[in-house]
Structures are given as structure tokens and as C-alpha cells.
């Protein structure tokens, strides 16, 4: 039964956050600082999620094949490669490191 309580609490929390967003006055959203922060927040959250998924396993920080794949993707991104090349480089490097025993 605890799972259903958690699901209900999460659903209620999501609804309340959405409601609070709708109640914010339009004038507050037009401020330059708010516009800059709202443009940068998704990038920061995605970077944090990527780092957490890449460098942690079961409450431990570790560097394994996923880190090498991320580094390959970052290198391909730095040379302005197309998106599919970036993903392919990450996949190939990760698979290669895992095949070598890493």
C-alpha cells in the first residue's frame, strides 16, 4: 500500500507545481533575469542527469566505459560532428572499452 501512497503524493505534488506555475503573474515572467534563468535551467538539469547516470552506480562514484563514451561524444561535439555521428562515436567507444574488459 505504501507504493500507492507514494504515487498519489507524487501526482498531487506534480499538480500543485503546475498550478503554482499558472498562478505566477505574467509581469514576473517578463523580467530579464527570469528569462535568462529559464533558458539555462533545462541545460543545467540535463547536464546533472547525464553526470549522475554516467559516473554513479549504487551510491558509488566510478569511471568506467560510460565515461569513455561520454568523452568520445564530447570530442565529436567539439568538432561539430552531426548528431548521429556523436551518438555513434559514443556507442562505439563504450562498446569497445567494454569489449576490452573495462
- Reported as a single tens digit per residue, the pLDDT across 75-91 is 999 999 999 999 999 99
Alpha-carbon gap, residue 3 to 64, rounded angstroms: 33
Per-residue confidence (pLDDT) for residue 27, from 0 to 100: 87
Q: Which of 63, 102, 61, 70 has the alpha carbon at shortest distance from 89?
A: 70
Q: What is the pTM of this model?
A: 0.62
pLDDT at residue 13 in the model: 96
Q: Which residues of the chain have pLDDT under 50?
A: none
pLDDT given for residue 33 in this prediction: 92
Task: Tell me the C-alpha distance between 39 and 33, whole Å.
Answer: 10
Residue 56 has what pLDDT?
A: 86
**pLDDT score for 1:** 66
List of residues 6+ apart from 92 with CB closer than 8 A: 72
CB under 8 Å, gap of 24 or more: what pairs does 62-65 form? 64/97, 64/102, 65/93, 65/94, 65/95, 65/97, 65/98, 65/102
Amino acid at each position: 500500500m505504501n507504493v500507492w501512497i507514494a504515487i498519489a503524493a507524487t501526482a498531487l505534488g506534480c499538480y500543485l507545481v503546475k498550478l503554482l506555475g499558472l498562478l505566477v503573474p505574467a509581469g514576473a515572467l517578463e523580467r530579464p533575469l527570469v528569462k535568462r534563468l529559464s533558458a539555462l535551467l533545462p541545460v543545467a538539469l540535463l547536464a546533472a542527469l547525464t553526470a549522475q547516470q554516467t559516473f554513479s552506480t549504487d551510491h558509488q562514484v566510478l569511471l568506467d566505459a560510460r565515461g569513455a563514451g561520454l568523452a568520445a561524444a564530447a570530442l565529436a561535439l567539439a568538432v561539430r560532428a552531426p548528431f548521429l555521428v556523436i551518438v555513434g562515436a559514443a556507442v562505439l567507444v563504450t562498446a569497445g572499452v567494454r569489449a576490452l574488459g573495462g
